[in-house]
Amino acid sequence: MYPARFRYEAPRSLDEALALLAEHGDEAKVLAGGQSLIPMVKLRFASPELLVDINNVPGLGYHREAASGVLEIGALCRHVDLEFSDVLGDLRPTMAAAAPLIADPIVRNRGTLVGSLCHADPQGDWASVMLALDGEVVAVSAAGRRVIPVTEFVTGPFQNALRPGELAVEARVPVPRGVPLGRYLKLERRVGDFATVGVAVAVETSDGTVTRAGIALTGVGANNIKAVDAERVLVGSTLDRATIAESARLAAEAAKPRTDHRGSEAYKRHVVRTFVERALHPRPAVAA
Amino acid sequence: MFKRQVTITVNGEARAVELEPRVLLAHLLREGLGLTGTHIGCDTTSCGACTVLVDGSAVKSCTMLAVQADGHEVRTVEGLTRASELHPVQEGFQEEHGLQCGFCTPGMMMSALALLERNPEPTEEEVRWALSGNLCRCTGYQNIVKAVLWAAAKLRPAGTGGVR
Ligand SMILES: Cc1cc2nc3c(=O)[nH]c(=O)nc-3n(C[C@H](O)[C@H](O)[C@H](O)COP(=O)(O)OP(=O)(O)OC[C@H]3O[C@@H](n4cnc5c(N)ncnc54)[C@H](O)[C@@H]3O)c2cc1C
Ligand code: FES
Ligand code: FES
């Protein structure tokens, strides 16, 4: 299907992009990887008047560790860059695990992490990863810049906290403060399908004791869910079996799944519980 | 409305066209340039039949605006054949019976080509992974995987493997 008519601009600098967004406000939409926006305009679920294509803006394709240790992900860093990253390494295991599970390889060649956060699809995987890691989004406009925690950035299904005229220029992940342990587990019916259930776990330990814990859930609510109670019980523990079981139980309780073509409510809850346990017991237990 | 002038290199040839921004790359290729080897199999960016290479990377041409290809290099299945000789990827599909109805085949071949250019010696697992965004309703995939491995062997310089 053809999209409805729209105007198209492909600015060659960030300033030019921000000027266009300032001028056109609500009528303009940013075009990044296009892997959510173009399907929507094709099906005419969205009919923006102006598309501001940022693909010609130089210097946004990066993901890098800043001197401070913070991981910075530019607005044009594609899923594929993270899948084959040599930056994520052992320090960012949750992200490294999620990247190859987003969509399919062809979609990963174009789609971006930042675009995925902006799109705020409740089935999106990156928002859970970023919730588990306490990530942030840097928004810029002609008027200035502000940093928004991902917990506040996603405000509802397909809704984000950006104001008219703002562009998300970067996502950030804080420095791990211990030994990171993390996984992203995703149950999908086939490659390219959205998650039936996804679970992001990001834990940091110091001398075997958990210093920070992040757990977030995909596909089991109107938005990605940060399972704060499940996180809390892990902090201070040594990841013993009883604590893991309790955390998994609390995560399943935090889930608000709905029965649909991907599975029943009870099934999805069960998968959440199983995935949290599995993520925190990276190896099958060996009888002592 | 606001038509734009763009120049896209398609299969090695610079093509200057005037088009509306809402024209998808798949539409430009098929209707504007008559390159109907690129198929459109769905409306939801799911099937991969429309896969082409843009600057060497596999892209669903139904999910990219043609204007976005301005100044870039696009390769389609028509660009595989040189001087009426089949490309090894095409030969592989012939030799290993990698197609039935053929609808998915152009997209499969372009995904396969992108893989082999990046990784000339893929394992079977890597082939399956690379093709996992391309759907086939006929073959059950086994022979498609064999076809790509056949092409990989053929493309390797003599003495480093060769056809099984
Ligand atoms: C077949 C298929 C399967 C998929 N499967 C999955 C999956 O399993 N898991 C998953 O998480 N995702 C999946 N996706 C979605 C994919 O990850 C998209 O790439 C992602 O949701 C959007 O990123 P994008 O760069 O393509 O954004 P676009 O499509 O360009 O934009 C999406 C929205 O965000 C806005 N936007 C984008 N970038 C910015 C910015 N920098 N500043 C302000 N606004 C911005 C746009 O205006 C638009 O509203 C799938 C997509 C397809 C087509
Ligand atoms: S036509 Fe199906 S993915 Fe492009
Ligand atoms: S051969 Fe018919 S769809 Fe693949």
* Residue-wise pLDDT tens digits, B103-153: 999 999 999 999 999 999 999 999 999 999 999 999 999 999 999 999 999
Using a CB-CB distance cutoff of 8 angstroms, which residues of chain A are in contact with residue B68? 10, 34, 53, 55
List the structure tokens of A70. Answer: 């913070």
3-class state of residue A200 by DSSP: strand
- A34 contact residues in B (CB cutoff 8 A): 63-65, 68
- Give me the pLDDT at residue B159, please: 52
Distance of CA A144 to the CA centre of its chain: 24
Q: How many angstroms separate the alpha carbon of residue B54 from the centre of ligand 3?
A: 23
Task: Looking at the complex, report in whole angstroms how far the Cα of residue B81 sits from the nearest Cα belonging to chain A.
Answer: 23
User: Is-contact A187 A198, C-beta < 8 A?
Assistant: yes
Give me the residue from A5, A43, A55 closest to B1, CB to CB.
A5
Ligand 1 contact, A118 CB (< 6 A)? yes
A197-206 β-sheet, strand order? A179-187, A197-206, A209-218, A225-226
Domain interval for residue B58: 4-77
pLDDT at res. B160: 56
Ligand with minimal distance to A31 CA: 1
Closest ligand 2 atom, CA of B39?
A: 1
CATH level 2 (architecture), domain A63-173: 2-Layer Sandwich (3.30)
Nearest residue on chain A to B42, alpha-carbon basis:
A1
A111 lines ligand 1 (CB under 6 A): yes
B163 band by pLDDT with thresholds 50, 70 and 90: very low
User: What is the CATH class of A179-280?
Assistant: alpha beta
**A38 touching B (Cβ < 8 Å):** yes
B71 and B8 assigned to the same domain: yes
**B163 in a domain, yes or no?**
no
**Closest Cα of chain B to A7: distance in Å?**
7
| Run of H or E including A101 | none
> How far is it, in rounded angstroms, from Cα A238 to Cα B117?
47
The pLDDT value recorded for residue A90 is 86
Cross-chain residue pair B24–A104, CB shorter than 8 Å: no
Per-residue pLDDT at B158 = 67
Q: Which CATH number fits domain A7-53: 3.30.43.10, 3.40.640.10, 3.40.630.10, 3.40.50.300?
A: 3.30.43.10
Residue to mutate among A106, A123, A186, with most B CBs inside 10 A, is A106
What pLDDT is recorded for position B70? 98
Same domain, B12 and B73: yes
Kindly state whether residues B149 and B115 are assigned to the same domain.
yes
What pLDDT is stored for residue A146 in this prediction?
98
User: Does the C-beta of A119 come closer than 6 Å to ligand 1?
Assistant: yes
Please check whether residue B149 is in contact with residue B61, taking contact to mean a CB–CB distance below 8 angstroms. no
pTM of the complete model: 0.96
ipTM value for the complex: 0.95
Of all residues in chain B, the percent with pLDDT exceeding 70 is 95
Q: Among B46, B77, B108, which residue terminates a domain? A: B77
Per-domain residue ranges of chain A: 7-53, 63-173, 179-280
Q: Does A94 touch chain B (CB under 8 A)?
A: no
The Cα diameter of chain B in Å comes to 58
Which chain A residues are closer than 8 Å to B136 by Cβ? none
To the nearest whole angstrom, how far is the Cα of A107 from the nearest Cα of chain B? 7
Write out residues in chain A with pLDDT < 50, as ranges: 285, 288
Q: Residue B114: what pLDDT?
A: 98
